[in-house]
Structure 1
Amino acid sequence: MMDNVKAKKHLGQHFLKDENVARKIADTLSLEGYDHVLEIGPGMGVLTKYLLDKPINVYVIEIDVESVAYLNGHYPKLHGHILSEDFLKYDINKVFEGKPLAIIGNFPYNISSQIVFRALDLRAQIPEFSGMFQKEVAERICEKKGSKTYGILSVLVQAFYEAEYLFTVSEDVFNPPPKVKSGVLRLRRKENFALPCSERLFFTVVKTAFGQRRKTIRNSLKTLNLSDNLRQDAIFDLRPEQLSVEEFIALTQKIEADGV
């Protein structure tokens, strides 16, 4: 048998070593509405083994060639289902051909937000997404308006998914231990996840508003060249963290009607 894989700092690897936590993460999946699950960054397969016990087609995507070799050597069930690729760049439909799938993982902290944005791009195909993040990021994704941590990720994710913070994981169940606690969340796509406004404009409005989060919406959205008439609307007196997801959608509708 191969030796264990050495964690690589540049890949943000912290290998989970607690079997109970791994099993709990695997159990976050409902297995409803999809026949495939893609695990991102499986490392040595601590979570993978629990996924393989479930009645679902398991695929893993791993950028680290040493981990890929380890998985090939230890998990014969995965043969043909290991994608030695970068999730952020890989076209998953080379494998999934438009079919729905769940995403799961103990995500590398240095790219976890990018993984979420990539999953949002694929939202029509991803009814469920769960896994482990740096605690602060997991909390931010699930945060509601009025909080300092509520931001772009919170609004964009919650526009399409019900976000639920499930449990906190301490540093000592990893090798090497990270400097911060971790948090596990689950996202379940809303039944009607098409927005009643231009989704492209919605993304622009949210990102632009939070780009200057201390300013009022009136000031932060100046670059959109809105009409003076629209800018008199009371919603423009607020700062972005004071707007709920629904209010951001309503704001986008108003901007759309304004002819942007």
Structure 2
Amino acid sequence: MSTHRPRKRFGQHFLASPGVIHKIVEVIRPRRSDPMLEIGPGQGALTRALLPHLDVLQVVELDRDLIPGLVALRDASASRLEIHAGDALAFDYAGLARTLDQPLRVVGNLPYNISTPLIFHLLDAGAWIRDMHFMLQKEVVDRLAARPGGRDYGRLSVMVQVACEVHSLFEVPPGAFNPPPKVDSAVVRLVRRETPLVPAGLQNEFARLVSAAFASRRKTLSNNLKGLLDAAAIKQCGVDPGARAETLDVEAFVRLAQRFHPD
């Protein structure tokens, strides 16, 4: 698999550090029966490390030039490697989990250019995802784990934290990849909440409200939420209409969404 030249259009930076790979497997703690799915296995570095711990490993790979190498790895493995050739952004994770009759554990060294939309796509699978361990751009991990009041806290932080517990695990330098990216990376754990903070019937309103609240970071909630909630309604939720979105915790956004859609 080593002859494959990483492609910019796929955002390919292959993980090449044995120490980092070992550390990722350690934090994932795979068990033989786990329904594990790896996104973007690439040249199979993490795949090889996971296979001895699992009865079955599912992988989703977009680059068809890498499929033969994964097939060779499957043929040489004592564990089952099930290969899905396709786009991770369009893959039916909930459908696969239903087939396996258990929620998926998802892992991957994600291309930076698709990491945010991919995480949102995975969140759409709801309770069919148990947890996720991803290598991401450090800046994205900082945003996922950010607390209210900081510059990293925004729409991504709120939308992920209402559905998952977020744990920033460790940083990874550019030299751990081939080719080295121009940014630092980090590994994050997202554990799906057993009970999401936003009720199922309120998710669309919540997403719309959070998006509006962060539309212009310099503006107050009262300005950003015009047409959705007036100042009096915001105040009734225990929130200052003159505050900015980045100062609100996740629970405050839930209260605002409930007021926006009280039934």
Fold match (TM-score > 0.5): yes
Give yes or no for the alignment of 1:131 onto 2:134: yes
1:106 aligns with 2:109: yes
What is the match of residue 155 of structure 2? 152
Contact 1:7 1:13 in 2 (8 A): yes
SS at match of 1:97: helix
Letter in 1 for 2:24: I
Q: 1:192 to 1:122 in 2, by over 3 A?
A: same
Cα distance in 2 for residues equivalent to 1:211 and 1:89: 27
Match of 1:251 among 247, 253, 256: 256
Match runs of 1:41-60 below 5 Å: 41-60=40-59
Measured in 2, the distance between the counterparts of 1:54 and 1:223 equals: 53
Q: Which amino acid aligns with 1:92?
A: Y
Matches of 1:70 and 1:147 in 2, distance apart? 44
Distance 1:169 1:194 in 2: 31
5+ residue gaps, structure 1, are none
For residues 40-99 of structure 1, the C-alpha deviation after alignment (integer angstroms, 9 at most, x for no partner) is 111011111121121353100000011111111233247661100001112235533363
Task: State the shift of 1:120 in Å.
Answer: 0.9
Distance 1:94 1:68 in 2: 22
Kindly tell me: are residues 66 and 162 of structure 1, through their superposed partners in 2, closer, same or farther at Cα, counting changes over 3 Å? same
Distance 1:104 1:51 in 2: 10
User: Which residue identity is paired with 1:135?
Assistant: K
Q: CA deviation at 1:22?
A: 1.2
Q: Decide whether the 8 Å contact of 2:39 with 2:106 is kept in 1.
A: yes
Partner of 1:86: 87
**Greater mean alpha carbon deviation, residues 85-94 or residues 142-151:** 85-94
Q: How does 1:28-67 map to 2 (within 5 A)?
A: 28-31=27-30, 35-67=34-66
Aligned-partner residue type, residue 95 of structure 1 = L
| 3-state SS of 1:89 partner | coil
Contact 2:38 2:57 in 1 (8 A): yes
- In the alignment of these two chains, the number of paired residues is 255
2:98 is aligned to 97
Where 1:198 maps in the other structure, the secondary structure is helix
Aligned sequence identity (%): 38
What does residue 198 of structure 1 align with? Answer: 202
Which residue is equivalent to 2:218?
214
| Separation (CA, whole Å) in 1 of partners of 2:93 and 2:169 | 27
What is the CA-CA distance between 1:245 and the residue it aligns to? 0.7
Kept in 2, the 8 Å contact 1:209–1:217? The answer is yes
- TM-score normalised according to structure 2 size: 0.89
Distance 1:114 1:152 in 2: 13
Work out the CA distance in 2 between the residues paired with 1:141 and 1:111.
15
SS of residue paired to 1:127: strand
- CA distance, structure 1, for counterparts of residue 195 and residue 176 of structure 2: 38
| Conservation of the 8 A alpha-carbon contact between 1:29 and 1:128 | no
Distance 2:60 2:4 in 1: 16
Q: 2:28 is paired with a residue of what secondary structure? A: coil
**Relative to 1, partners in 2 of residues 1:228 and 1:142: Cα closer, same or farther, differing over 3 Å?**
closer
Q: Choose the corresponding residue for 1:242, options 234, 237, 247.
A: 247
Indicate if the aligned counterparts of 1:37 and 1:56 stay in contact, CA closer than 8 A.
no
Counterpart of 2:135, as a letter, is: M
CA contact (8 A) 2:93 2:122 kept: no
TM-score (structure 1 length as normaliser): 0.90
Structure 2 distance, partners of 1:25, 1:56, is 19
Equivalent position amino acid for 1:215 in 2: K
- Render the CA deviation track for 1:219-244: whole Å, top value 9, x for unaligned: 111142x3563155443221110001
1:141 alignment counterpart: 144
